[in-house]
Structure 1
Amino acid sequence: HGNLFGAIDFYQCAKAAGIKPIIGCEAYITSGSYKEKPSRESTFHFTLLAENETGYRNLVKLISAAHLDGFYYRPRIDKNLLASHADGLIGLSGCLASEINSALQSGNVEKAQNLTAEYRDIFGPRNFFIELHDHGMAEQKQCNAHLPKFAREFGLGLVAANDVHFLRRSDHRAHDVLLCINTATKIEDEQRMRYEPELYFKSPAEMREIFRDFPEAITNTLEIADRCNLEIEFGKSKYPEYPVPAGKTREGYLRELCYKGLHERYGDRAANDQELITRLDYEVDVLEKTGFVSYLLIVWDFIHFAKEREIPVGPGRGSAAGSIVAYVLGITDIDPLQYGLIFERFLNPERISPPDIDVDFCEARRGEVLEYVRQKYGERRVAQIITFGRLKARSVVRDVARVMGLSVRDGDRIAKMIPNELNITLNSAVERNPELKRAVATEPLTKQLMEYATALEGLSRSAGVHAAGVVISDRDLSEYVPLCRDVKGNDIVSQYSMNPLNDLGLLKMDFLGLKTLTMIEDTVTLIRRNVPGFSLKNIPLDDVAAFGLYNRGETIGLFQMESGGITSVSKQFDVRKLDDIIALIALYRPGPMELIGDYIKRKKGLTKIRYEHPLLEEICADTYGVMIYQEQVMAAASKLAGYSMGQADLLRRAMGKKDKEKMAKERANFIAGCAR
């Protein structure tokens, strides 16, 4: 109702399954002006379907306006707004909560007729249909006694419809539980919201039987489906063009900034170190060929703004640290050559996909950078990004237990039987925990709870705002995506989440507010009271006393080093240099974690260092023969199998995503490369 949150996910899934997607929305329409705040009773339901791209764009505009300008309890449009954006849209008169049916239920047939004429005039008789519902409700029979007459009187088509709130009739009970979760009630409560069991996705045969007296209403569903032919464009860049100084091109300006930064970072080496110059020219060439020059300039610009105003900025993380362009522009503070970082992890010329630069800002001043970006590119061209909270394994069990009337203790008992692992599912939890499996088999209430919970697991529970995500466009975002506001009604937020925005070719960035940077800045301020010239840049990276903190496990307050598990590993690690800390953090994550014991033994000389192949010694010598970095995977593929760095990045991605099909393909390529 009233939003397009899942439209792109639905569109892509339908296309992948060979099904024609029809994009629409059951909008809220008010009888007055959508900008006024009348009684809630003057808001009604109305069905809108996008016939083509024009209709989709108008639908996006309508739903955005409803949220940004017409929100009063619900996101509302009005007839004037609808009339100005009716092109390419097909309108259906709506369910029992529609304006026409509400008039009929109150006995005002004349008003219902006038409303029918009004909607016909907005859409034209070919694009407005009278919607028939029949779930066996008396109110629907009352309305259906008049609606076919209206269709004949005004020259409109009838269309058979069915409110769909769950997929199968058998899902009714699970959906009832979901209603209770969303309305904070219990199944046993008598005075609560309930839906009819008929609100499931009916088959064509069932619909034909229900509407056997109106065969044209069934035929018209096919006509509408045939008419709706929306092709959404994916992948084409909608990035804003960075405004460069007069008389300069973006490409020329990027090179100018890069060479200036190269001299600032490397001094005399910048003039005669061919490795530096070759690497920089290669990266800039790739950026120009792939069309991401503006992207780098945009990121450089807002980071430059932050640093000029002494807003703490993180040194960089993720794949961007592999780019010398990012380093010389001051986007990152990590020399990729010193640490053997690979540019193709950031931007692979053999599989072009948007680069991704995550930027950490001081939590207290992140808002200043966001506001700068809004002012630079336009308020309506910049928005934060929506996220959806899901009903996950443990939380859905607790929620279902509550609505079933179980005690908090009983719900907690079952929830705690689920292993505390990221992305674990209820089915896998039952298989992995014998105690939970036994409870499901022997306790009828637990079995019922798990059946409901499994049916609801993974569904969206709530909408929120991404902690860091920001989307920037080359024009008003509502030209491309529907918008809404955050829960406080202030900031503008996209109705599409990260992945759909990326697929649509929009520029998304992570502006993360990091408390650690705020703490560091506050600490530096205190130090400067006694040491006025103090700078973080002057702290030596080989300080023995600092390494001692790690070896004693005194890491409270250190970013990524505070958990009990990593503190325990730190005390065993014998930290002697910065590279040891890098290895420690890289090892302490799912996957490499199982190598920690062997790594420590090799490091301390308790186990002989072995290499799986002599050619790997050069790649893995610094990590005692243990492969722990993704760059090592790429380097090994290049050294052993002759992969280009672009090909090696594709192998790395397949491994990271555990894509069995791609891994099997890469295995064949790898073996063939090694044989050569």
Structure 2
Amino acid sequence: MPRDSFVHLHLHTEYSLLDGAVRMKELMQKAVEFGMPAVAVTDHGNLYGAIEFYQEATRAGIKPIIGCEAYVAPHSHKEKASSLREAAYHFTLLAQNDNGYRNLVKLISTAHLDGFHYRPRIDKELLAQHSAGLIGLSGCLAGEVNSAIQSDNIDKAKQAAAEYRDILGPENFFIELHDHGMDEQRRCNAVLPKIAKDLGLGLAAANDVHFLRRDDHDAHDVMLCIGTGKMVQDESRMRYTPELYFKSPAEMRALFKDFPEAIANTLAIGERCNVSIEFGKSKYPEYPVPEGQTREGYLRELCYKGLEERYGERAKIDNQLRERLAYELGVLEKTGFVSYILIVWDFIHFAKGRGIPVGPGRGSAAGSLIAYVLGVTDIDPLQYGLLFERFLNPDRVSPPDIDVDFCEARRGEVLEYVRQKYGERRVAQIITFGKLKAKSVVRDVGRVMGMSYRDADRIARMIPNELNITLDSAAEKNSELKRAVATEPQTKQLFEYAKILEGLSRNAGVHAAGVVIADRDLSDYIPLCRDVKGNDVISQYPMGPLNDLGLLKMDFLGLKTLTVIEDTLALIHKREPEFSLKDIPLDDAASFSLYNRGETIGLFQMESGGMTNLSKQFEVKKLDDIIALIALYRPGPMELIPEYVRAKKGVTPIKYLHPLLEEICADTYGVMIYQEQVMAAASKLAGYSLAQADLLRRAMGKKD
């Protein structure tokens, strides 16, 4: 590593929620600009951003050092203190190797699951059990060593440092130095080098980074107020010094010119830290099949039995059916997703056996004949021209995705079944992060700046209601907003702060549907925590990283509509005991007229004002019209609505961009609205295989 550089070993990203304001991509750009060989992440008590950090650093050619600013309880992590101040000390932990990363994951999981009191806490005994492969730094002013010095108890400070040395080993524990011009730090820095010398420990300089540039300090201060519920003008509130930014090697060297070894040690630690995370290798559980059978054989048996149940005599004589099923089974076996489909079949089979309403299927899974014959979906892919390659592409082995709708009131029963079947600690719900989006960040910033709700709301209402709109694009699209920012000093200030904070993570929540299942205790792979209420176990990594790590991710969607249907059926059965949903005709004119009159309240996916207006224009006459309606009313295809409606009503003639497209787009009046049509067109026009056509579809949809 370059000797004149520096490595930041204590750094808080946006995943130190409403405390750190560093974005991963910008961090890596800055590290590259400064010629830094490595950088660490040490968020407060969590590893939420570890995988995103690792991937961004690797892409930028910067060595990632995965760490955490852990909370260490003074005694047992299970012992409850009377106040936050007494609950825990801060301690910087860095993973030196793969074993260290696994130990860090175990420690931080235990802190959340067993040691949470004010903060997720470990203790020294736990640290000793999982110390292999870890490097420790003594921490900031809230660390145990510095706290003792500030209390004028030098012996206690020395004793604490000696304990950490004995736990981690003298070569793996460093005394951490900070200098932000604070009196308390000067007091500590006058003592710390002597403690280090007496105990045979190295020094390590750090800057406790919370934001990227010095100029970000004021916006970061506003964010602190959002997090602590204070106003900017409040006198007695937490404030951070402007010095907590991502300083250059030259700045850090100048700051610690009296302790050159503290700078050199950051490079030495960076050199020693080498964590390699494996992506893409399946960590799916193996489905337990009856004794004496293979998974492949069991799946085939279930599929051919289901084929006869779905198609009757046709299953014996229709070669197209049997060839399609054989092809799908072959792809599933070749790509290694046999256990995956069996696991999904099993919990859906359980739900249906218990009378728990299950949706008929959604998304790409509807293109699978296997899913249909197993009863995972209730949509015949052949009848609707749906393509298996959209579900599972043999040319690009990425996990299939089956989203399953369950009755909202009974979704928990299915989750509990899966937990019991595969093991409590092998199943968890998935974390998600709320963001400071355009409208919410304006309201949040306005509130802490002391603006009235009315004034902040006036600005927020000027932002167009568009998905993922940014403040910059909002100002371009609304001249009234642009004028307010240009002519009103307070609005200009609000906008400047809001733009810096826009998009940062605001809070952690639980994904509405996501569940992760592994082949062993999840904390062997990923860090775990609890939901906000402190009940359910959830992953600390969000959906994307879990997928990348090769973990099995399922969507168990709780759908209120299924509950309403079930309640309605119960009422009908009191008068018509033999009634079944299957008796309802799919060509009922009275039902279609409801759409044409815009009476869509209570209809799934049809309730918004825009959908209601569109259904009035549409002249719904058949089920295919409703399918087209739902496909059109989403970002992208929405632009085609006027053209589609005019062609459907005969106002404009149907046009095909190429004669070969007539067969593909005839049912949709020459307009391409379905992803299957994109794939079919690529196959017909360019001679693509359906697998290649799926890759094109993904590229068009900007899917990885």
The answer, yes or no, to whether TM exceeds 0.5 is yes
Specify the alignment match of 1:383 in structure 2.
428
Specify the alignment match of 1:2 in structure 2.
45
Specify the alignment match of 2:31 in structure 1.
none
For 1:106-185, list aligned pairs within 5 A. 106-185=151-230
Specify the alignment match of 2:624 in structure 1.
579
1:90 aligns with 2:141: no
Q: Determine helix, strand or coil for the equivalent of 2:692.
A: helix
In the TM superposition, residue 591 of structure 1 has moved relative to its aligned partner by: 1.8
Identify the match of residue 24 of structure 1 among 67, 73, 94.
Answer: 67
Specify the alignment match of 2:446 in structure 1.
401
Specify the alignment match of 2:412 in structure 1.
367
Identify the match of residue 311 of structure 2 among 266, 274, 289.
Answer: 266
Which residue identity lines up with residue 14 of structure 1 in the other structure?
Answer: A
Residues 489-525 of structure 1: per-residue CA shift (max 9 Å, x gap): 1100000000000000000110010000000000000
1:596 aligns with 2:641: yes
For 1:618-633, list aligned pairs within 5 A. 618-633=663-678
Residues 195-238 of structure 1: per-residue CA shift (max 9 Å, x gap): 11111111111111111111101000000000001110000000
Which residue identity lines up with residue 572 of structure 2 in the other structure?
Answer: I
Specify the alignment match of 2:686 in structure 1.
641
Specify the alignment match of 1:542 in structure 2.
587
CA distance in 2, matches of 1:563, 1:488: 32
Q: Determine helix, strand or coil for the equivalent of 2:429.
A: strand
Q: Determine helix, strand or coil for the equivalent of 1:233.
A: coil
CA distance in 2, matches of 1:38, 1:71: 11
CA distance in 2, matches of 1:227, 1:491: 37
Contact kept? 2:361, 2:405, Cα under 8 Å: yes
CA distance in 2, matches of 1:591, 1:569: 16
In the TM superposition, residue 601 of structure 1 has moved relative to its aligned partner by: 2.4
CA distance in 2, matches of 1:256, 1:438: 68
Which residue identity lines up with residue 162 of structure 2 in the other structure?
Answer: A
1:617 aligns with 2:684: no
In the TM superposition, residue 606 of structure 1 has moved relative to its aligned partner by: 2.5
Q: Determine helix, strand or coil for the equivalent of 1:512.
A: strand
Which residue identity lines up with residue 75 of structure 2 in the other structure?
Answer: G
Which residue identity lines up with residue 278 of structure 2 in the other structure?
Answer: E
Q: Determine helix, strand or coil for the equivalent of 2:121.
A: strand
1:509 aligns with 2:554: yes
CA distance in 2, matches of 1:385, 1:318: 20
CA distance in 2, matches of 1:214, 1:606: 81
For 1:244-263, list aligned pairs within 5 A. 244-263=289-308
Q: Determine helix, strand or coil for the equivalent of 1:528.
A: helix
Task: Give the TM-score of the pair, scaled to structure 1.
Answer: 0.96
Q: Determine helix, strand or coil for the equivalent of 1:529.
A: helix
CA distance in 1, matches of 2:297, 2:557: 30
Which residue identity lines up with residue 48 of structure 2 in the other structure?
Answer: F
Specify the alignment match of 1:212 in structure 2.
257
Which residue identity lines up with residue 80 of structure 2 in the other structure?
Answer: K
Seen in structure 2, the aligned counterparts of structure 1 residues 471 and 658 have a Cα distance that, compared at 3 Å, is: closer
Specify the alignment match of 1:229 in structure 2.
274
Identify the match of residue 69 of structure 1 among 87, 91, 114.
Answer: 114
In the TM superposition, residue 658 of structure 1 has moved relative to its aligned partner by: 8.2
In the TM superposition, residue 194 of structure 1 has moved relative to its aligned partner by: 0.5
Structure 1 range deviating more: 431-440 or 23-32: 431-440
Which residue identity lines up with residue 324 of structure 2 in the other structure?
Answer: R
Contact kept? 2:136, 2:173, Cα under 8 Å: yes
Contact kept? 2:70, 2:91, Cα under 8 Å: yes
1:495 aligns with 2:506: no
Specify the alignment match of 1:445 in structure 2.
490
Specify the alignment match of 1:34 in structure 2.
77
Q: Determine helix, strand or coil for the equivalent of 1:509.
A: strand
CA distance in 2, matches of 1:547, 1:414: 42
In the TM superposition, residue 595 of structure 1 has moved relative to its aligned partner by: 2.0
Residues 241-267 of structure 1: per-residue CA shift (max 9 Å, x gap): 000000000010110000010000000
1:323 aligns with 2:368: yes
1:470 aligns with 2:490: no
Specify the alignment match of 2:41 in structure 1.
none
Which residue identity lines up with residue 598 of structure 2 in the other structure?
Answer: G
Residues 623-664 of structure 1: per-residue CA shift (max 9 Å, x gap): 1111111100100000000011011111111111289xxxxx
CA distance in 1, matches of 2:87, 2:622: 69
In the TM superposition, residue 168 of structure 1 has moved relative to its aligned partner by: 0.8
Q: Determine helix, strand or coil for the equivalent of 1:446.
A: helix
Which residue identity lines up with residue 522 of structure 2 in the other structure?
Answer: L
Specify the alignment match of 1:663 in structure 2.
none
Residues 576-610 of structure 1: per-residue CA shift (max 9 Å, x gap): 21111111111112222222222222222222222
CA distance in 1, matches of 2:286, 2:200: 50
In the TM superposition, residue 38 of structure 1 has moved relative to its aligned partner by: 2.3
Specify the alignment match of 2:606 in structure 1.
561
Specify the alignment match of 1:671 in structure 2.
none
Contact kept? 2:87, 2:117, Cα under 8 Å: no
In the TM superposition, residue 540 of structure 1 has moved relative to its aligned partner by: 1.3
Stretches of structure 1 that go unaligned for 5 or more consecutive residues are 660-676
Stretches of structure 2 that go unaligned for 5 or more consecutive residues are 1-43
Q: Determine helix, strand or coil for the equivalent of 1:631.
A: helix
CA distance in 2, matches of 1:494, 1:30: 23
CA distance in 2, matches of 1:198, 1:272: 77
Identify the match of residue 428 of structure 1 among 438, 455, 473.
Answer: 473
Residues 145-183 of structure 1: per-residue CA shift (max 9 Å, x gap): 111111111111111111111111111100000011111
Specify the alignment match of 1:243 in structure 2.
288
Structure 1 range deviating more: 413-422 or 544-553: 544-553
Which residue identity lines up with residue 168 of structure 2 in the other structure?
Answer: F
Q: Determine helix, strand or coil for the equivalent of 1:145.
A: helix
Q: Determine helix, strand or coil for the equivalent of 1:208.
A: helix
CA distance in 1, matches of 2:211, 2:236: 22
Q: Determine helix, strand or coil for the equivalent of 2:575.
A: coil
Q: Determine helix, strand or coil for the equivalent of 2:136.
A: strand
Structure 1 range deviating more: 548-557 or 44-53: 548-557
Specify the alignment match of 2:391 in structure 1.
346
Contact kept? 2:80, 2:87, Cα under 8 Å: no
Specify the alignment match of 1:674 in structure 2.
none
CA distance in 2, matches of 1:185, 1:19: 37
CA distance in 2, matches of 1:95, 1:597: 61
CA distance in 1, matches of 2:147, 2:165: 17
- Segments of 4+ in structure 1 off by > 6 A? none
For 1:49-68, list aligned pairs within 5 A. 49-68=94-113
Identify the match of residue 518 of structure 1 among 544, 563, 572.
Answer: 563
* Alpha-carbon RMSD: 1.0
CA distance in 2, matches of 1:38, 1:658: 48
CA distance in 1, matches of 2:209, 2:570: 59
Contact kept? 2:87, 2:118, Cα under 8 Å: no
Structure 1 range deviating more: 238-247 or 577-586: 577-586
Residues 40-73 of structure 1: per-residue CA shift (max 9 Å, x gap): 3141000000001000000000000000000011
In the TM superposition, residue 23 of structure 1 has moved relative to its aligned partner by: 0.2
The aligned length equals 659
CA distance in 2, matches of 1:66, 1:414: 42
In the TM superposition, residue 397 of structure 1 has moved relative to its aligned partner by: 0.6
Which residue identity lines up with residue 260 of structure 2 in the other structure?
Answer: P
Structure 1 range deviating more: 347-356 or 596-605: 596-605
